[in-house]
Amino acid sequence: MSRKYFGTDGVRGKVGEPPLTVDFVLRLASAAARALAPGGGKVLIGKDTRLSGYMFEAALEAGFVAGGMDVMMIGPLPTPGVAFMTRHYGCRFGVVISASHNLYEDNGIKFFDAAGGKLSDEDELRIEAELERGTLTLESNALGRVIRVDKTRRAYQEFCMATVPADVSLQGMKIVIDCAHGAAYKVAPRILTDLGAEIVPIGCSPNGRNINVGCGAMAPELLQLTVTGVRADVGIALDGDGDRLVMVDHLGRKVDGDQLLYVIAMAKHAAGTLQGPVVGTLMTNLGLERALQAKGIGFRRAKVGDRYVLEMLREQGGVLGGETSGHLLTLDHATTGDAMVAALQVLAVMRQTGRPLAELVAGLELLPQQQVKVKVAARFDPESRPAIVAARTAIEARLADRGRIVLRASGTEPVIRVMVEADEREEAEAAARELAAVVEAEARA
């Protein structure tokens, strides 16, 4: 069965438009209570800093209490922090109100199971089935209660700090931290300060509408300028819900998820602590795969989406994986992608080796990538169109082992994504344009 409301990362959309309306979120809470916690129990609700988070928080609270669940409200906290605190409190499940890296006009509802992991497809289908029954209100003596637990977010900060080796201190490091005016604006600076770093905070003044605007992991240009301007050792950029990481070296150059995976993988391999293969996605740069293979490190590709990276890591017995975009999973430390935990692992490598980030990534040669988004009136599977398949096959034959092609329909918007990478940038750009033209023609047909 296909899911009607759940996408690759919960339910997401524009605020005020179906399904992101107050009445739907109220029904969603009621349905989730019945599907995930029959008989009641505790549920944790966290959020980022969007203005609409207040009303969706209230709608979730009402739906859960009406369904007999005790609600714990923790306020703004990174998505991975909610995952951790869900497990910490022994909740039946946890909820995050966030649209991640999107602007404030959007929002979303994401769920974690009792172990702090993302819900299975089967769990999401059960919730959707319960949605058809509407909202349930129990008798007064069976209703749940609500408590605020904002101050206990210190437990998450301590958890993050504990992932750094005991003999590693950030004393003497100057770090620019950009929280995208999002969920990590309180905890991330405190974590770095408590570990001894001198910090320069930016993107830490949310007003409900400025989340991800001109800052954070999706727009690291301000961070790049600030790092060089204040002569910092490194810069850290998170997205609005704190699960995506981009870093900047002391020269002001962006370091993406593939490069950060390389740094962590090399360090774990050298220390003998790397378990299983490293897992990337279809979009992971071929250069990373080649670099890992040269060191005898296994590499696997999952479908795009950190949930699929997580599934493959579990299947393969791995602990390290992620996406080019900066969703990094270190399962020897956390149950889900956690940008601050990943950043701390990179900082620890810098301290242990005495090498700057620019030097740590120098051994990785990334191939040029060209990406094209082809807008379509209605989403379709590009692999189902013979003309597109024929064009792709012909281009792949020309590229041989000098590159590769990824062709997929977006899971979040009506576009077909074309990505070509090759040893030479000109070849990648020409091939991407050629294939995109065929996709455009098929979309109009």
Residue 411 has pLDDT above 80, yes or no: no
Same domain, 140 and 160: no
- Percent with pLDDT over 90 in the chain: 93
Q: Is residue 4 part of a domain?
A: no
In the listed set 95, 120, 153, which residue is the last one of a domain according to the structure? 153
- Which residue has 């809470």 as its token pair? 29
46 and 74 Cβ atoms separated by less than 8 Å: yes
Residue 413 has pLDDT above 80, yes or no: no
Angstrom distance (rounded) from CA 335 to CA 118: 9
As annotated, the active-site residues are 100
Q: Which amino acid is at 201?
A: P
Rounded to the nearest 10 degrees, the angle between the axes of helix 154-162 and helix 79-88 is: 100
Same domain, 393 and 412: yes
Same domain, 247 and 263: no
Reduce the DSSP state of residue 281 to 3 states and report it: strand
Q: In this predicted structure, what is the pLDDT of residue 264? A: 98
Q: Is residue 78 part of a domain?
A: yes
Tokens for 231? 């002569």
Same domain, 187 and 55: no
199-216 core/surface letters (b: 16 or more CB in 10 A; e: else): bbbbbbebeeebbbbebb
Q: In this predicted structure, what is the pLDDT of residue 412? A: 66
Of residues 372, 348, 342, 364, the one with CA closest to residue 432: 372
- Which residue has 């949605």 as its token pair? 131
Same domain, 266 and 205: no
Query: Pairing relation of β-strands 299-302 and 278-281?
Result: parallel
Same domain, 321 and 379: no
Q: Is residue 376 part of a domain?
A: yes
Q: How many CA atoms lie within 13 A of 223 on its CB side?
A: 35
Q: In this predicted structure, what is the pLDDT of residue 379? A: 81
Domain count, the chain: 4
430: containing domain: 369-444
Tokens for 169? 């201190």
Reduce the DSSP state of residue 432 to 3 states and report it: helix
Same domain, 248 and 174: yes
Q: Is residue 1 part of a domain?
A: no
pLDDT digits (tens, 9 = 90+) for 323-338: 999 999 999 999 999 9
Q: Is residue 87 part of a domain?
A: yes
Model confidence at 222, in pLDDT bands (50, 70, 90)?
very high
Residue 290 belongs to a domain with what CATH number?
Answer: 3.40.120.10
Same domain, 52 and 147: yes
Average pLDDT over residues 343-354: 98
Same domain, 385 and 345: no
Average pLDDT over residues 132-141: 94
Residue 397 belongs to a domain with what CATH number?
Answer: 3.30.310.50
In the listed set 153, 180, 209, which residue is the last one of a domain according to the structure? 153
Per-chain mean pLDDT for the chain: 96
Reduce the DSSP state of residue 133 to 3 states and report it: coil
What residues form DSSP beta bridges with 197? none
Same domain, 38 and 27: yes
Q: Is residue 2 part of a domain?
A: no
Q: Which residues contact 405 (CB under 8 A, 6 or more apart)?
A: 392, 395, 396, 399, 418, 419, 420, 431, 435
Q: Which spans in 177-248 are helix H?
A: 187-194, 221-229
Q: Is residue 196 part of a domain?
A: yes
Rg (CA), the chain: 22
Q: In this predicted structure, what is the pLDDT of residue 304? A: 87
Same domain, 149 and 160: no
Query: Pairing relation of β-strands 69-76 and 41-47?
Result: parallel
Residue 1 has pLDDT above 60, yes or no: no
Average pLDDT over residues 38-49: 97
In the listed set 203, 232, 252, which residue is the last one of a domain according to the structure? 252
Same domain, 181 and 50: no
**DSSP letter string over 8-70?**
TTBEEEETTSTTSSHHHHHHHHHHHHHHH-TT-EEEEEEE-S-TTHHHHHHHHHHHHHHTTEE
pLDDT digits (tens, 9 = 90+) for 79-124: 999 999 999 999 999 999 999 999 999 999 999 999 999 899 899 9
Q: Is residue 91 part of a domain?
A: yes
Q: In this predicted structure, what is the pLDDT of residue 8? A: 78
